[in-house]
Structure 1
Amino acid sequence: MNKNLAEEEIIRLAKDNSPRLLSKFKVSYPDFFEKLATIQPKLQNSELIFCIYLKLNLTTKEIATYTFVTPKAIQNRKNRIRKKLNIASSVDIYKWFDEM
């Protein structure tokens, strides 16, 4: 499967809040989870999925819509992920994930 098709499928799975998102992303981007694990080996699956949303550059509002929670809840999750991964508040979280 070419990279664009894989990416499109991952975005579709994210929008559908699909339980297959995590496994599909792991197959397509194994390095991503290895890097996350070196920073914080104890991330839960729900946190890994949230990291995928951030890696896909989805806005707070988009993530809230796809996961059926409020934008405020997404902001809180971003803050918790920042703490767990030691991302300074001065750092753009999307840029951080993009450069990973």
Structure 2
Amino acid sequence: MNDMSWFVLISTATVVLAIAFGIVGPAIAMGRAISSAMDAMARQPEAEKSIMRTLFIGLAMIESLAIYVLVIGLIVLFRNPLIEFLLG
């Protein structure tokens, strides 16, 4: 295998690992947020609308972190600036 094949293989594996590790944090945070919201609704059922609204805003913010990890990983994978360095 030539240098370019190794570089593509290593960068692809690195991006896959980065996405996998980058998704673990938001996934744990979403689980904890949902668990806490359910606990809060069980304690105060009259505040359900307020809790749900806050929960959905929080989940959207947490999900945006996961999307940022995916976007940056795809940018590194498909528009890697080091490829021009290897080719040049």
TM over 0.5: no
Task: Choose between structure 1 and 2: higher helix proportion.
Answer: 2
Larger radius of gyration: 2
